[in-house]
Structure 1
Amino acid sequence: MSPVTIKDIARALNLSTSTVSRALRDSSEMNPETKKMVLDYAQKVNYSPNPMAVSLRASKSKAIGLILPEIANAFFSQLINGIEDVAYAHGYHVVISQSHETYEREVNNLNYLSSRRVDGILVSLSSLTTDLHPFHALMDQGMPFVFVDRVPQQGQVHKITSDNFEASYNATKHLIELGKKRIAHLTSPRYLSITTERLAGYKKALLDYDLTFKEELVKYFHYGGAVAQENEKTIHGLLDQVQPPDALLAASERLTMASLEILHKRNMRIPEEMALVGFTNNAVAGLLNPPLTAVVQPAYQMGEQAAKLLIELIESPQKVNEFQNLILPSLLDIRSSTIGSKPFIS
C-alpha cells in the first residue's frame, strides 16, 4: 500500500495542497477549523511526511557528523551509543568517521562531513591534532560544533568532558594510601586536554601527600598507546630504571592494556610487585588477571549530553547564549590490581 501524500489528503477533503501543507506545518495564518479537520484526517490515515522533502524544505539534512579517534574502544563505543540514542529520538541520523589518531584523516573526515551538508558535527580530537583552523573555519561559516572528551584547550567552543583532574587525583590518592611512593603516570601527548588535566590531578595528589613529583616517572606516548613498539619500548624502559616505580597509573585504555600485558610478560606479581590503575570503560576489566582497578568515565552520559547540546544548537541556536562547558564525574572501581585479594574498605 502506497504511503498517503499531501495530494491524497487534499483530494479527500476537497482542499488545495497548499492549504493542507500549511495545516500540517501548524500555520497560525489559517482557519482553525480547517486546520483541525486536516490534522484529524492526517492522523486517521496515518500520514507521515516524506523525510527527504522535509529536509529539502527546511534546508536540513537531519544528519549529524561524528569524528572519533576510533570505534574499537569501549569508551568511544559507549559514547556513540549515547549520541545515537538521543539523535534517533530527535529524528537525526549519525554519520560516524574515525581519525585513527591522525590529523590528516581527521581533516579529511571534517571536509567530507561538511560536503555532505550535515547539520552539525561532534568531535573528539585525535592525539596528533594541534592545528584547529579547519574547525574554526567551519564554525565561522555557521556550522554548529560540540567537542567531547578530547577538547580544544584554547578558544571558545562547546565542550562535554569528564572530570579528568578529579579522576586522576582519586586514582593517585588511592595508590598513595596503599603505601605506594613511586607512582608512574603513563599518558598521551602533552598537548591533549585529557593529558593536561589528568597529569594535573596526579601532581596535586602527590603534593597533598608530600611526595616529590619526579619527571622520570611521567611517560608521554606520542601515539596515545596505538603503536605497540612505542608502548613496549617506553614501558620496559620505565620498569628497567635503577629506581623503578612501585605503581602504574595508565591514563588511557590502550596504555592500560599495554601495561598489563607487559607486566605479565615480565612475570611481575600484581599488585605485590607493581600495582596498576587504568582509565578504561572495558566491561571485562573485572574479569582480567588480576581484576583491574579502573577509572570508569560516564561515556554514555557524555554522548547523550553532547548530542542534546548539538541538536539544540541546530534547532534553536538563539537559546544558547554562551559557550557550554559541561563536566561529568567519573568512578574509581577498586579491584585486585591494587588491593590484592583483601577486601577494600573505603
Structure 2
Amino acid sequence: MAGPGGNAPTQHDVARALGISVSAVSLALNDRSGVSEDLRARVRQTAADLGYRPNTSAVALRTRRSRTIGLLIRNLSNPFFLDVIEGFETVCAGSGYALITASSHYDLRRETELMRTFIARGVDALALAPVGGSRAAGEWHRTTGRPTVLLNAARLGRALPVMRTHVDGVAAVEQAVGHLADLGHRRLALLSAPRRRSPDPERADTFLRVVAERRLSGRILETELTAAAAGPTLDAELARPRRSRATAVITNSDHLAHVVYAAAAGQGLRIPDDLSVVGHDDLPTSALLAPPLTTLAVDRRTIGVTAAGLLLDALADRPTATRDVSLPATLLVRGSTAPPPR
C-alpha cells in the first residue's frame, strides 16, 4: 500500500494511522524501550498492513547498526544445528533483523576468520557455538563490545561478559550413566571431543565422577566429533577383547550415535545384544534406526529461540531475568539399550 502521493509508506504514515507520535513508532519498530509491548505489537501490525519497509541503509547510518546478527556454529552436517538455526532465524525475522550463518567445521582457525568477517560486516551481535575455548568470543568482545551469546558452552568465557544458552550436560550424563548402570553395565565409554577442543568439558568430568561413584569402569574415547574421525576411534574400542571392551557407549549427539551403529556392524556386534548405545538430541531419524536409539531429548529449536531472545534483549537494553539459560534433557529409552551380554 502506498503512502500519500503514491510514495512508499513511511513511519509518519504509521504514526498517523495509529494517532501516535513518530518517535513512538520508531521506538517500537527499532525494538527499543519506552513503549509498551501492546503498543509495539500494534505498531508492527499497522506497519505490516500499510506495507511499510524500513530503509536499511538509512537506519544503519542513523543508528550505526546493521540490523544483522551473526550465528557461527561448529558443524552444519549435524542436523542438531538446523533446528537451532530455524528457531534463531524466526525470532530475528520477527524483530526485523537479518541472520548471517556460518560454520567453522570444528576448525579453530576458520572460527577466528569467520568471527573477524562478522566484525568487518558490522553485525550487531554474535551467537557462537565454539569449537573449544573462548578465544573467538574474547576477541569479538575486545574488538566490538557488542552482545555475545555462547551456545552449548556452559563453562567457557566465565571472565567475559557473555550470555549462554545450553543443555544441562551434567544432568544428561548422569541420566545416561544411571540408566546403563541400572541395566547392569559395568564397562562404559563416552565419546568426547579432546579436552582442548571441547566446548562442554563438564560432560567428561561428570562421566568420570559418576562412574567412580558407582564403582564402574569408564573410558573416555577422545576424537574430533566428525563421522570420519570418530569411526576409527570406535573401531579401536570395539576391537578390544570381549572382556575389556565397553559394553555400552554414550555419545554427545545422535549424529555420532549413528556412527556407533556402523562401527558395531563392522565388528560383527549386535545392538543391543552385544553393545548398548545412548545418544543425545533425539533427531527425527533416531527413532527410525534399527533398533531405535535410546537418547536424551532436547528442545533444539528452543536453544535458538532463547539465544536470539537474549541478544535482542541486550540490543534493546531490556532487562533479562538471567544471562545463563540451562535447558533440560529427557532420557527416552528405546531399543538400543539392554542388559550387557553375559
Q: Aligned partners of 2:181, 2:274: CA distance in 1, in Å?
A: 15
Change (3 A) 1:7 1:219: closer
Q: How does 1:54-69 map to 2 (within 5 A)?
A: 54-69=59-74
1:48 to 2:52 alignment: yes
Q: Equivalences for 1:75-224 in 2 at 5 Å?
A: 75-126=80-131, 129-130=132-133, 132=135, 134-140=136-142, 141-150=144-153, 152=156, 154-156=158-160, 157-192=162-197, 194-211=199-216, 213-214=217-218, 217-221=219-223, 223-224=224-225
Bigger mean CA offset, 177-186 vs 187-196: 187-196
Output the CA distance in 2 between the equivalents of 1:105 and 1:148. 18
Distance 1:154 1:45, change over 3 A: closer
Cα 1:273–1:91 change in 2 (3 A) is same
Give percent identity, aligned residues only.
24
Task: Output the CA distance in 1 between the equivalents of 2:139 and 2:157.
Answer: 17
Q: Distance in 2 between matches of 1:117 and 1:104?
A: 20
SS in 2 for 1:169: helix
How far apart are residue 7 of structure 1 and its match? 11
Match of 2:37 in 1: none
Q: What is the number of equivalent residue pairs in this alignment? A: 310
Which is greater in Rg? 1
CA shift, 1:255, in A, is: 2.7
In the alignment, structure 1 residue 232 sits paired with structure 2 residue 237: no
Correspondence 1:329 to 2:328: yes
Does the CA contact (< 8 Å) of 2:150 and 2:165 recur in 1?
yes
Unpaired runs of at least 5, structure 1: 13-19, 28-38, 341-346
CA contact (8 A) 1:219 1:234 kept: yes
Matched residues in 2 for 1:24 and 1:173: separation?
A: 55
Instruction: Report how far residue 334 of structure 1 moved.
Output: 0.8
The answer to whether residue 283 in structure 2 is matched with residue 282 in structure 1 is yes
- How far did residue 49 of structure 1 move? 4.5
Counterparts of 1:131 and 1:308, CA distance in 2: 21
Corresponding letter in the other structure for 2:55: P
Name the SS of the counterpart of 1:105 in structure 2.
helix
Separation of aligned partners in 2, 1:205 and 1:26: 51
Partner Cα distance (1:175, 1:107) in 2:
39
What amino acid maps onto 2:334 in structure 1? R
Preserved contact between residue 10 and residue 52 of structure 2 (Cα < 8 Å): no
Distance in 2 (alpha carbons) for counterparts of 1:7 and 1:187: 53
| TM-fit CA distance, 1:93 | 1.1
What CA distance in whole angstroms lies between the structure 1 residues aligned with 2:197 and 2:88?
22
Determine helix, strand or coil for the equivalent of 2:250: strand
Amino acid at match of 1:238: E
Q: Distance in 2 between matches of 1:171 and 1:7?
A: 55
Q: 1:173 to 1:56 in 2, by over 3 A?
A: same
User: Counterpart in 2 of 1:250?
Assistant: 251
Task: Work out the CA distance in 2 between the residues paired with 1:161 and 1:67.
Answer: 15
Return the alpha-carbon distance in structure 2 between the equivalents of residues 61 and 179 of structure 1: 56
Task: Give the match's secondary structure for 2:85.
Answer: helix
Unaligned runs of 5+ in 2: 29-42
> How far off its partner does 1:339 sit?
3.4
Q: 1:45 and 1:79 mapped to 2: Cα distance?
A: 30
Indicate the larger mover: 95-104 or 294-303: 294-303
Q: Distance in 1 between matches of 2:197 and 2:334?
A: 28
> Partners of 1:207 and 1:197 in 2: how far apart?
15
Q: How far, CA to CA, are the matches of 2:191 and 2:337 in structure 1?
A: 16
Query: Secondary structure, in 3 states, of the residue corresponding to 1:80?
Result: helix
Deviation at 1:26, TM superposition (A): 7.3
Mapped partners of 2:286, 2:232: distance in 1: 24
Q: Sort the Cα spacing of 1:329 and 1:90 in 2 relative to 1 into closer, same or farther, 3 A.
A: same
* TM-score, structure 1 normalization: 0.80
Q: Which amino acid aligns with 1:272?
A: D
CA contact (8 A) 1:180 1:246 kept: yes
| Matching residue's letter, 1:315 | A
- Counterpart code for 2:149: V
Corresponding residue SS for 2:87 = helix
